[in-house]
Structure 1
Amino acid sequence: MTSTDTLADVPVDETLLRSLLKEQHPDLADLEVGPVFRGWDNELWRLGEELAVRLPRTPRAPELLAKEYRWLPVLAPRLPLPVPTPVRLGRPSSLFPAAWTVVEWVPGDPADRVPVTRADHAADALAGFLRALHRPAPADAPANPDRGVPLATFASRVEETLRTTDFGEFATDDIREVWEAGLAAPVRQEPALWLHGDLHPANVVVADGTLTGVVDFGELCAGDPATDLSAAWMLLPDGAAARFLESYGTHDTALITRARAWATARAFGLIAIGQAGDQGLPGGKPTWGPAGWATLRRVLADTGT
């Protein structure tokens, strides 16, 4: 059987997908299939009107799908926005070497492709979603080395980016000030909360100008909610962060300062991935670069938030 290290090389088409369904979930095998969407770790195929199939395409993807399958059904009932709750599990077989899932379809267009235009509505929707999600996590909740952790964990990476990147219209010293303020802010001491962990524009969907769903819970973990609050600057239109924070219900200066620093660090990642796409490098996502630059612009404009 093919190793999961080479999942990206396993050819996947409608014929294979139907064969997998007939083998393991025959009651779904006759539903309409397509189109396909390629994410960072998984390939997503529409399945009928209400479902989708997620097939892992990177070595780490099966573990992320397993985490979603374990935890998202527990969390989904309390969340006010639709999420891709897993409803079936596909096992590794001779047809495909890794586990895969069937999930509920979340309608809408990714926010890196369709802009949010109803700023207040989207700010309230995002705040309501995170208020519902951000509750104390159990002891066996997953940890994540790059999410929900103290900012000092990846300070050297951020410093390298600050030293080596041309930020164009943005002054490096201004960006550094936001980052260093986050580093200097008190580290969270309260119990870890549930986090989405990856709220960038490609992981939320938009309809009628506002946020209508949240997808891709592969980075789901427990930790500091500042990681998720960075979405105020990553997802929402210019100037909407204050409305979001008021709706979320926090005036914790240290938390907000850490969240702005998180947004800065996440923007660096979006920009780098966007540039990889512009250069035709594997894994590049050309739509992510503009989202990263927009995040920096919003963070620097909201110095008084």
Structure 2
Amino acid sequence: MPKGIWYRKTLSLYLEGLFSYIAQMEWDTAIKNFSDYIKLERAMADNSVMAYTSDVTKLYQYADMAGWKKGPLEISANNVENFLTYIFRLGMSVNSQARILSGVKAFYKYLLFDEYIEIDPTELIEAPKTGRKIPDTLEVHEIDNLISAIDMSTDEGIRNKAIIETLYSSGLRVSELVNMKLTNIFYDIGFVKILGKGNKERLVPIGKGAINSIRTYLEEVRGNMTVKPGHENYVFLNRRGAQLTRVMIFTIIKRLAVAINLKKKVSPHTFRHSFATHLIEGGADLRAVQDMLGHESITTTEIYTHLDKEYLQQVIHEYHPRS
């Protein structure tokens, strides 16, 4: 590589890193000042302070993931709209979206009040309408009720509990679940290797509850089955020893919903949205959730680099309701 090109590329990378660092420092300072303001001058309770600062931190995380290199004072109304679209596409409930927007609005009102900015970028942004079509998200107690409705005296019940636990514990797509392989479960580190969309592999943390349910199923049920040739490596099998179909997973979930008289429209994807929503609402890092879901980057050309696997495992342990 010619020396001039190498120098320009090195300088470009240095400046990019510098701008990112400056933006991070600006966000950190502004969020801390905002936290102090609402705690001391508005006398908010500690839980409210944490919720508000968590909402603003999510906006910063999105800005960082989008590569904007912008501090909080440079954020535009369009930037905020893009952020709201992003959390909508994650499947967050309307109430959760509205609450996050409320925290962001409070942040910019503070910046306007203290004369850091002259125009509030969130002023004309309205809360999401309840009529927007987004998938239903289950509450934690509703998931617990679904699991409690499973008849654990049957082989199918033991299998079905492992299926529900795995869907909710890891946020898998239904196609990823039915194609799970025995050789891709790493019990010692608490991860499962998944082949997602576009044949892209990723490691996904799986909770202890799901691991225990899978082990129980493998030991008490699957280990005693006659498995059809070619299906030996699939985790979840039907009573004939063959790989489960997507339709069967839908049927299992629908029957459980009827059993507990659940009025919400549920599907395997409902657990995926619930997984993401509960982690984010609990305070998990947006990038970590994005990585675990196997989503493409919010930009059109890049795929996020996988985060440190110990960090993803920590996110699951700290923020997942059933961990």
Structures share a fold, TM > 0.5? no
Q: TM-score, normalized by length of structure 2?
A: 0.29
Q: TM-score, normalized by length of structure 1?
A: 0.30
Looking at secondary structure, tell me which structure has more helix per residue.
2
Which one has a bigger Cα radius of gyration?
Answer: 2
